[in-house]
């Protein structure tokens, strides 16, 4: 492709891919800006301008002119439940990005009509009432009306789930069903379940109910995972650290990504963790794993990164901010055995810890082991979430060689946090700037898919602006970060958590060719528009794994979504507004629809004159 004098030449070391005419933010202090890169063998060989890449263009080199668009290193979500998400993606109706409950229910109604007998309609995270114009959950009556015969399960964060009548029957809930520990089945005056499940505060009631729904089998799990990875590539993600999670068993639920890795069909690099699933059996599981595998087993596409995000169930503090902070029992003895085992065997780990009270108790165990020389010992370990971590705790983390991983959970449940803990605590939740000021590695992620959306630009907007999905300012400028720092938290910092900072997270020769060409310039677009950025060209390991817009058709072909009734086949994934004008038009349409509802309400109550179609306000009548 001869462009601007870039004529193919016969060379022995011809690049396989050249991307040119870009405004490249490399993330490399040695050369922060560039215009072109060349790639060979999945690795960047040249970063510079046209004259630098010209000698590396051969007759088989694919040259892509990106028309002056912004290019950044591929994003790395440091806390994403990617394996679990992939296994279920094509079965889920995603409300991510939907702006009104009206639209969400219309999608649900249509999907219920498409869903065959025996299957469920499931909405599993990625949304919040805070994003809806109506500012509320769907009611059981609305679900029953939308889907009278098809089971419907709607999960709202780690707080609650709403089920219709058919789902209650399919899940086996009745008058005599006992409340599980840490959960509540809300009942009516007749003692029958109403359809509302509450995490009080444990989310296990929500997960165990969802686990009763049908699952995919065989090749369908691979197709689902590949489409989920393509959806992540759509937003410029090229890497993720899988945080495991409840109901994700090893090795069973890891088989799909292992098979895709062996076939060279992953489009996202995955570093995964192992999470003991059975209370009381955690140390036995960890012992077996340390005897049969070790961190960094695998390759640059799929590798083990350690244990967590729970080591023992008793030490988990659930984060339903509509409920009081859970009071944990005595867990230190078993927790110490688990941590000692990992540190003595060279394993790193990550820990779910929402509250400073939990972090302080964990740190006391680590400091006890530090007296024996086990901390700091070079093993990578970190705390996840840490919304209420204190400065004192952060100092202790730094002294013990730990790191932090923060997520934008308060984008979606910040108002619940604000109501419970007040504006002072919300302004510092989590204390990102305090973490950075102590020199800690602070990586960023989403905690998708059952809490936040997997769209990393929503999280980047939250880091930069301090605002939730409704635009409410929660964190003041003193606890916000600039755009460059936020991007580094989503690139290089994540690479540090997996020990790959020398080959990933920046665009320089010798690093993986992982990059994203953006729909809008992240560094100059108005702040509210950060959340609406997507990638138009995503490259992982030199492969074009996603392309859209003027680059459509350059990416790899995927098998069609299966089953054909899948919500993804009809609606896709994240529901992004098309452009600023379209968003304005949609807002106007929503306002008109709400006005019509209000007019109907007034007519039904005799507040409009009979037969009067024009707007009427008795305050201005003559």
- pLDDT tens for each residue of 18-45: 999 999 999 999 999 999 999 999 999 9
Kind and range of the H or E run holding 512: none
Q: Please tell me the distance from the alpha carbon of residue 498 to that of residue 506, in angstroms, as a whole number.
A: 15
Dihedrals φ, ψ of 496, to 5°? -65, -35
- pLDDT tens for each residue of 401-411: 999 999 999 99
pLDDT at 446 over 50: yes
Among 250, 520, 492, CA closest to 258: 250
pLDDT at 16 over 90: yes
**pLDDT (0 to 100) of residue 617:** 43
SS3 91: helix
- pLDDT tens for each residue of 41-92: 999 999 999 999 999 999 999 999 999 999 999 999 999 999 999 999 999 9
Q: Helix 332-344 and helix 282-292: axis angle, to 10°?
A: 0
Query: Rounded to the nearest 10 degrees, how much is the dihedral formed by the CA atoms of 121, 126, 128, 132?
Result: -80
- Cβ–Cβ under 8 Å, residues 310 and 328: no
Token pair, residue 610, equals: 């009979």
Token pair, residue 350, equals: 């990550």
Q: How would residue 603 be classed by pLDDT, with cut points 50, 70 and 90?
A: low
pLDDT at 584 over 60: no
Average pLDDT over residues 492-519: 98
- pLDDT tens for each residue of 509-562: 999 999 999 999 999 999 999 999 999 999 999 999 999 999 999 999 999 999
pLDDT at 581 over 90: no
pLDDT at 6 over 80: no
**pLDDT (0 to 100) of residue 486:** 98
Name the average pLDDT for the chain: 93
**pLDDT (0 to 100) of residue 607:** 61
Among 88, 52, 299, CA closest to 211: 88
- Cβ–Cβ under 8 Å, residues 183 and 192: no
- pLDDT tens for each residue of 216-260: 999 999 999 999 999 999 999 999 999 998 888 999 999 999 999
Q: pLDDT > 90: what percent of the chain?
A: 87
- Cβ–Cβ under 8 Å, residues 360 and 393: yes
| Size (the chain), residues | 622
Q: How would residue 580 be classed by pLDDT, with cut points 50, 70 and 90?
A: very low
Residue 268 CB neighbours (<10 A): 29
pLDDT at 289 over 90: yes
Q: How would residue 586 be classed by pLDDT, with cut points 50, 70 and 90?
A: very low
Phi/psi region, residue 83 (left: phi>0; alpha: psi -120 to 50; beta: rest), is alpha
- Cβ–Cβ under 8 Å, residues 214 and 92: no
Q: Please tell me the distance from the alpha carbon of residue 291 to that of residue 297, in angstroms, as a whole number.
A: 13
**pLDDT (0 to 100) of residue 591:** 55
CA-only gyration radius of the chain, Å: 25
Q: How would residue 11 be classed by pLDDT, with cut points 50, 70 and 90?
A: confident
Q: What angle do CA 580, 582, 588 make, to 5 degrees?
A: 105
**pLDDT (0 to 100) of residue 596:** 58
Sheet holding 193-199, edge to edge: 121-124, 152-156, 160-163, 193-199, 183-187
**pLDDT (0 to 100) of residue 245:** 87
Query: Rounded to the nearest 10 degrees, how much is the dihedral formed by the CA atoms of 435, 441, 446, 451?
Result: -60
**pLDDT (0 to 100) of residue 94:** 98
Task: Say which residue, 4 or 283, is predicted with more confidence.
Answer: 283
- pLDDT tens for each residue of 175-224: 999 999 999 999 999 999 999 999 988 889 999 999 999 999 999 999 99
Q: How would residue 476 be classed by pLDDT, with cut points 50, 70 and 90?
A: very high
pLDDT at 579 over 60: no
- pLDDT tens for each residue of 126-175: 999 999 999 999 999 999 999 999 999 999 998 999 999 999 999 999 99
**pLDDT (0 to 100) of residue 13:** 85
**pLDDT (0 to 100) of residue 593:** 54
């Amino acid at each position: 492709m001869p462009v601007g004098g870039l004529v193919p030449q016969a060379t022995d070391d011809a690049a396989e891919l050249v991307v040119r005419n870009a405004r490249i933010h490399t993330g490399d202090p040695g050369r922060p800006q560039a215009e072109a890169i060349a790639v060979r063998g999945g690795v960047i060989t040249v970063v510079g301008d046209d004259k630098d890449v010209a000698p590396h263009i051969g007759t088989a080199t694919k040259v892509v002119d990106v028309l002056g668009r912004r290019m950044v290193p591929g994003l790395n979500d440091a806390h994403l439940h990617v394996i679990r998400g992939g296994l279920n993606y094509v079965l889920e109706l995603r409300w991510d990005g939907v702006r009104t409950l009206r639209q969400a229910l219309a999608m649900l109604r249509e999907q219920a009509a498409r869903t065959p007998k025996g299957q469920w309609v499931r909405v599993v995270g990625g949304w919040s009432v805070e994003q809806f114009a109506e500012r509320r959950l769907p009611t059981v009556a609305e679900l029953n009306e939308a889907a009278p015969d098809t089971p419907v399960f709607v999960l709202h964060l780690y707080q609650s789930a709403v089920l219709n009548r058919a789902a209650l029957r399919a899940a086996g809930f009745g008058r005599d069903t006992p409340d599980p520990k840490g959960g509540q089945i809300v009942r009516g005056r007749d003692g029958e379940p109403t359809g509302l499940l509450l995490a009080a505060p444990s989310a296990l009631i929500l997960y165990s109910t969802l686990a009763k729904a049908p699952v995919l089998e065989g090749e369908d799990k691979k197709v689902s995972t590949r489409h989920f990875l393509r959806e992540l590539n759509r937003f410029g993600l090229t890497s993720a650290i899988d945080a495991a999670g409840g109901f994700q068993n090893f090795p069973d639920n890891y088989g799909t990504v292992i098979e895709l890795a062996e076939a060279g069909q992953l489009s996202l690099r995955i570093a995964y963790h192992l999470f003991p699933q059975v209370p009381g059996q955690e140390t036995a599981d960890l012992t077996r794993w340390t005897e049969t595998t070790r961190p960094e087993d695998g390759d640059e596409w799929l590798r083990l990164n350690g244990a967590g995000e729970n080591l023992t169930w008793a030490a988990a503090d659930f984060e339903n901010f509509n409920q009081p902070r859970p009071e944990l029992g005595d867990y230190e003895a078993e927790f110490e055995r688990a941590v000692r085992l990992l540190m003595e065997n060279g394993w790193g780990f990550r820990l779910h810890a929402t509250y400073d009270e939990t972090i302080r108790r964990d740190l006391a165990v680590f400091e006890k082991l530090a007296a024996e020389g086990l901390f700091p010992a070079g093993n990578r370990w970190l705390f996840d979430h840490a919304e209420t971590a204190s400065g004192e705790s952060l100092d202790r983390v730094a002294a013990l060689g730990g790191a932090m991983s923060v997520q934008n959970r308060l984008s979606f449940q910040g108002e619940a946090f604000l109501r419970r803990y007040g504006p002072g605590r919300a302004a510092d939740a989590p204390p990102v700037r305090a973490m950075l000021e102590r020199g800690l590695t602070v990586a960023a992620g989403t905690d998708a898919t059952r809490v936040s959306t997997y769209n990393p630009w929503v999280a980047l907007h939250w880091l930069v602006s301090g605002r939730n999905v409704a635009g409410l300012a929660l964190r003041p400028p003193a606890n916000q970060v600039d755009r460059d720092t936020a991007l580094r938290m989503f690139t290089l910092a994540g690479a540090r958590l997996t020990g790959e900072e020398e080959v990933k997270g920046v665009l320089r020769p010798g690093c993986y060719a992982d990059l994203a060409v953006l729909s809008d310039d992240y560094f100059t677009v108005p702040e509210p528009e950060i959340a609406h950025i997507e990638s138009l060209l995503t490259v992982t390991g030199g492969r074009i794994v996603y392309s859209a817009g003027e680059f459509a058709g350059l990416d790899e072909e995927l098998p069609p979504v299966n089953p054909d009734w899948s919500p993804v086949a009809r609606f896709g994934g994240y529901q992004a507004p098309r452009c600023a004008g379209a968003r304005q038009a949609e807002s106007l349409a929503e306002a008109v629809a709400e006005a019509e509802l209000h007019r109907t309400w007034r007519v039904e109550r005799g507040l409009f004159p009979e037969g009067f179609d024009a707007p009427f306000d008795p305050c201005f009548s003559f």
